[in-house]
Amino acid sequence: MTAPNLLSATEAAAAIAAGTLKSETLVRACLDRIRARESEVEAWAYLDPELALAQARQCDREAPRSRLHGIPIGVKDVIDTVEMPTEYGSPIYKGHKPSCDAACVAQVRELGGVILGKTTTTEFATRHPSKTRNPKNGAHTPGGSSAGSAAAVADAMVPIAFGTQTSSSIIRPAAYCGSVGYKPTFNLVNRAGLKFLSESLDTIGVLTRTVPDAAMIVEELSGSAPARFEDVATLKPRIGFCRTPYWTQADAATQAALLGALPRLSRAGASLDEVALESDFAELADTQIRMSSYEFYRALTYERTRFPQLISDSLMTRIRAGSLVTRADYQKTQETAERCRRKLDDVCREYDVLICPSATGEAPRGLSSTGDPVFGLTWTLMHGPAMTLPVFTGPTGLPLGLQVTGPRKSDARTLVAAEWIRRALTD
């Protein structure tokens, strides 16, 4: 039998509902895996094994409340938890204990899930790295900002972990570590209790090992109708291959992996076209940076005025740039984004999904940078679903992701097409 910590959440929940697996057994298996691997990976900002086991035993005494019942979940440490410290990746918040669980955390508990612990984040979910190492090769970055969530899930320490994305903070670490990463449509998961950096962009999502697991938790939290994975077997997806304006920043292996996938997708039954986005999409990386900097400058006013010496130089540089963005400049960024969102709605009438690289290459060597977010910026700004699938391997043996995106609110369709693509490229 598969070790419980290797089960997907969907498999484990079915076994728990059938009475063939106890939540306590599953949580113990996850804790054992963490005990064995944490000194190498350092994915966790905080763990309380006894608290997690107590929650699991409580779940085992109850009838299943939802498809999450008994499933352990990791929570990125920019999301508030009452029973565990929440430090936002910053020394300013050392030992900080919030007074309220974030909405998504309290919902997981209500749905019968188990909060296993807090996963590391870069400083305020920006660039300054956490302690976490890539579980596939500890000399490489796990990416960021959802570093701990990506590493823990990829390393079978937990089947699901919350992440957040403002630039590429779910997609990039998931691609680097070899997990599935899902940034849902903006506002699909409630953000109360998330430490706000950029309220126009910050999006809560999940890192998992399977596409249906990612769908399941977001559906449970949002009250969405389930994605119809039963349709995958007969789907003939219309796929738009989109180099994006940043294609030349992808390394040769990434370009080759993407290009090599196209005939395989065609042979498996997809219709495939190359999609060129209009020229204003080329402005979006810069637009994302100006928009978020304006918001960082304001959202972090308390921290930057009271504790400037505890903010990294790189973040302080970004914040200072935000002080120069006027409201008129900021409004232009919002207008550019909205115009491109509508154009993307139009483009996507012809396609079920678009595909593009998840990152510029494999996880870079070294722990001082979390890698280049460029392939995430556009899709965060577009507010639609984006998912990375661990379907390729790079030249040094580290994972490479394929990114699948859709326009706003197309989550169910995007998830089903992503699962089709995953099967076509790996099964």
Residues tagged active-site: 76, 145, 169
If one asks whether residue 118 binds a copy of itself (CB under 8 A), the answer comes out as no
Piece of the chain touching a copy of itself by CB under 8 A; list 70-78, 134-142, 261-269, 297-305: 297-305
**Least CB distance to a copy of itself at residue 325 (A):** 7
Binding residue (CB under 8 A) for a copy of itself from 326, 349, 368, 397: 326
Q: What is the DSSP letter of 123?
A: G
Q: How many residues bind a copy of itself (CB under 8 A)?
A: 45
Instruction: Report helix, strand and coil shares of the chain as percent, to nearest 5.
Output: 45, 15, 40
Q: What is the DSSP letter of 7?
A: S
Residue 155, CB-side half-sphere exposure with 13 Å CA sphere:
34
Tokens of 256: 């080759």
Contacts of residue 413, defined as CB under 8 A and 6 or more positions apart, other chains included, come to 227, 352, 353, 406
Tokens of 330: 């900021």
Binding residue (CB under 8 A) for a copy of itself from 3, 139, 192, 276: 192
CB closer to a copy of itself, 172 vs 191? 191
CB 161 within 8 A of CB 144: no
Tokens of 338: 């909205």
If one asks whether residue 295 binds a copy of itself (CB under 8 A), the answer comes out as yes
- Residue 44 bridge partners (DSSP): 119
Q: What is the DSSP letter of 273?
A: E
How far is 129 from 337, CA to CA, in rounded Å?
28
If one asks whether residue 155 binds a copy of itself (CB under 8 A), the answer comes out as no
Binding mask 58-87 for a copy of itself (x = CB under 8 A): ------------------------x-----
Piece of the chain touching a copy of itself by CB under 8 A; list 38-46, 183-191, 209-217, 378-386: 183-191
CB 120 within 8 A of CB 45: yes
CB closer to a copy of itself, 133 vs 304? 304
How far is 369 from 140, CA to CA, in rounded Å?
10
Binding residue (CB under 8 A) for a copy of itself from 25, 224, 249, 314: 224
Q: Quick one: CA dihedral 175, 177, 178, 179, positive or negative?
A: negative
**Least CB distance to a copy of itself at residue 161 (A):** 19
Binding mask 245-284 for a copy of itself (x = CB under 8 A): ----------------------------------------
If one asks whether residue 165 binds a copy of itself (CB under 8 A), the answer comes out as no
Contacts of residue 25, defined as CB under 8 A and 6 or more positions apart, other chains included, come to 4
If one asks whether residue 93 binds a copy of itself (CB under 8 A), the answer comes out as yes
**Least CB distance to a copy of itself at residue 186 (A):** 10
How far is 340 from 351, CA to CA, in rounded Å?
16
List contacts with a copy of itself (CB under 8 A).
82, 93, 96, 98-103, 105-107, 109-110, 187-188, 190-193, 196, 199-200, 221-225, 294-295, 298-303, 305-306, 325-328, 330-331, 409
